[in-house]
Amino acid sequence: MIMKPLIVGLALVLAGPAVAAGADTAAYDVVIRETAHGIPHIQADDMASLGFGAGYAYAAKNICLLADALVTVRGERSQAFGPDAMVDLVGGPTRNLDSDVFFRAYLDDARIAAGYAAGDADAVALIDGYAAGYNHYLAERGPGGLPAACRDADWVRPASGGDLRRLLTERAIQASGGRFAMAIATAAPPAGDAATPPVPVPVSRLGGRDDAARLGSNAYALGGDLTADGGGLLLGNPHFPWQGNSRFFQMHLTLPGRLDVMGAALPPFPVPVIGFNRDVAWSHTVSASQRFVLHELALVPGDPLSYLVDGRPERMRPVTVTVPMAGADPVTRTVYDTRFGMVVAMPDRGLAWTGRIAYALADPERHDTRLVEQWLWLAMAASVGEIDRALADIRGTPWINTLAADRHGDALYADMTGVPAVPDELAARCAPSDAGAAIARAARLVVLAGDRAACQAVDDDAGMRPDHGLMPADRMPRRLTRGLVFNSNDSHWLADPAMPLIGYARIVGPEAVAQRLRTRMGKRRLDEIVTATGGRVAPADLEAMLFDNRNLAAELVVDAMLSVCWSEMGGQRAEGEGDLASACAALAGWDRTSSPDIRGAALFREAWRRARAIDGLWAVTFDPARPFTTPAVVDLANPAVTTAMRQALSDAAAQLRAAGFPADIALGAVQQRRTGARTDAAGIPVPGGDEFEGVLNEMTFGPFGAGGYDAARIYGSSYIQLVRWDAGGPVARGLLTYGQSADPTSPFHDDQTRLFAAGQLMALPFRQAEIATDPALRVIRLRASRADTGQP
């Protein structure tokens, strides 16, 4: 039977391991000590029980989120919520029916199961234990005891380890197949022998939203040559959604003698994906490398379901799926697979399936089963050298750079993402048609010919071990140093600003290109700190850097904007009525930060949103020899620039006025998290600037309107950790900006948002004495039969 948790005293925890020697291996046995802000510290004596505790702890705060995510990857959203309702996938809002077709067709349970069976047994034990912990909490609460978002919902049901493996695969394909979900689910052969349509207006990305608008991050790893104590120092600042199942969850896992790691994970990861232990800390940023390849298929004339390879026709493989409906007949749809991958169709972006050409997606992450194994080995690493070796050997970080520092004073940058093995020579030899090449240029992607077997980028039948068609580790960028490595979602090129990483294949990422403003601001602030401290950087310096909310775009252009204002106003500061005058007055009093109580930041954001696109804006264009300081200097000698700048200012003020706000409205009055919980119905002011402003504390809200910025979808600073070491182990400060729970009625829903609004990190209790003396300490012991939780 399933047993209720026992609230026990501290003596149990201090007495020793959670499970005595010789304990029943058919039972889960775990202790969870919860400290302030709902952070669980989970201790067990076997991996399965550790996973059980992680799954239970997550479900206790966010069961509705995980249940909803499982409905998605099972392909059951149409049955649960209707076929025409929308789900927010990584590629953008998608009809439930299309989502269901994609996940049923793209995720192969047999292949996934085989990959895990051939992999790490500890990873499998953690995953199955996590499912059991989720099921235990669900049975304990019952359908009527769940939060309002899923109370008594028939789509909430127990999870299997296979369900979680499907969800983990969805995490792996977020920068590859997942971005083409609708393009795969809706791809259908043409009715006739249509010609290839012209390439549309160039697009920044194929496969959904631009990465910069969805997922991003900053991470800074400093080696002992730059730190005050000679040890390593790491600041991790990922920018992820504040809603949905990509919210981080803080936790601390201990398996005595093997594992002691704290950090944060996305569900259903049973170990932290960003974290620290007694020796090393790491964080991640979304990589600029390309994790898929498009192959241009030459179709057999008159037969759009066959394509030519080395002059011989091959038949596409139909994949037919049936999607259940609520109160209606199931819907059956067929999509198509090839030796190069699944067929995609995006006619509005040039990827049309015509009578002559189709495109197939080669995705090395489609059957990646190494994610949990990868992070388990990172969690057990004792140095950045071990981090580096684990990344190279396992290759389980699908789309993220890794930055790490250790107590010895070493630092690491590595892009070991799932990049297909396409050296520039292969890309040149396998160039597609002129139409395919135009698409590749417009979307900044590698597109290969699909009419030759020698051009196949990923052998989908090769299995995932060891590399499954990935670019070899020695051809991927990595740097060990005792200086500085950092990344803010630009490519590998300047991750070590003292010694650029160059000479890598184009698919790995661009070199000698203009950097985003966040990258430039990070370098500017680090240079200022190193100069001010004489190269002895302390954690407080980096914490201040993150929360000072300096706005690089403002530092580059506000003086020019004011010059435009003064010239328009006859050399005087703007005064009086009118949108231009009010805009200029707001900027004149602004301190050029994106802090909640500061007036002028909102006006500038909306003006810069328009002005950044002005043709010929910069008098000093990008110079690869000065990548952190160019482009720069607004070209005020160009009348077209000054006219457009004046219009941008006036239009921004008019926009605020139409929404009912003065031009100098405080940022915190219009940029808020509206939790709907307990108090603060008006919302909690949130610091930070939008992606294009160059604010390290990046926060992206929805469009500006009558209520200020739309807070229904927020992306930005999420789990923050700042880690150093002393003789006793790690000394960590951190924050989960949106809190541990998605349930608005939970005390852990917005408690950390209030700290974030005040610009405060908190001490993270890692050591046993810190946990034991936490005033909010609550201890739970869980025991359950494995059979009763539906797991092996």
Based on the residue annotation, tell me whether 217 is a catalytic residue of this protein.
yes
Please name the residue that has the structure tokens 């002028």: 600
Give me the helices (H) in 629-765, please: 639-658, 667-670, 751-757
Six token digits for residue 413: 């940058």
Could you please report the per-residue DSSP string of 104-168? HHH--HHHHHHHHHTS-HHHHHHHHHHHHHHHHHHHHH-GGGS-TTTTT-TT-----HHHHHHHH
* Angle, CA of 453, 454 and 460, to the nearest 5°: 65
User: Can you tell me the distance from the alpha carbon of 27 to that of 784, in angstroms, rounded to the nearest whole number?
Assistant: 6
CA 534 vs. chain centroid, Å, equals 34
Check residue 759 and give left, alpha or beta (phi > 0: left; psi -120 to 50: alpha): left
Cα–Cα distance, 686 to 757 (Å, whole number): 5
**Amino acid identity of 340?**
F
Asked if 479 contacts 487 with a C-beta cutoff of 8 angstroms, the reply is: no
Q: Which two tokens stand for residue 149?
A: 């978002």
Instruction: Reduce the DSSP state of residue 415 to 3 states and report it.
Output: coil
Q: Which of 217, 287, 289, 491 is catalytic?
A: 217
Q: What is the 3-state secondary structure (H, E, C) of 201-222?
A: CCCCCCCCCCHHHHCEEEEEEE
Sheet of 259-265: strands edge to edge? 6-7, 778-785, 27-35, 39-43, 249-255, 259-265, 274-276, 280-286, 400-406, 411-414, 478-481
CA atoms within 13 A on the CB side of 716: 29
Best CA proximity match to 231, nearest among 418, 499, 411:
411
Q: What is the DSSP string of 220-250?
A: EEE-TTSBSSSS-EEEEEEEEESSSTT--EE
**Which residue is it, tokens 């390879």?**
309
Residues 594 and 695: beta-carbon distance below 8 Å = yes
Q: Are 51 and 130 in contact (CB under 8 A)?
A: yes
Question: One-letter amino acid identity for 311?
Answer: G
Active-site residue set: 217
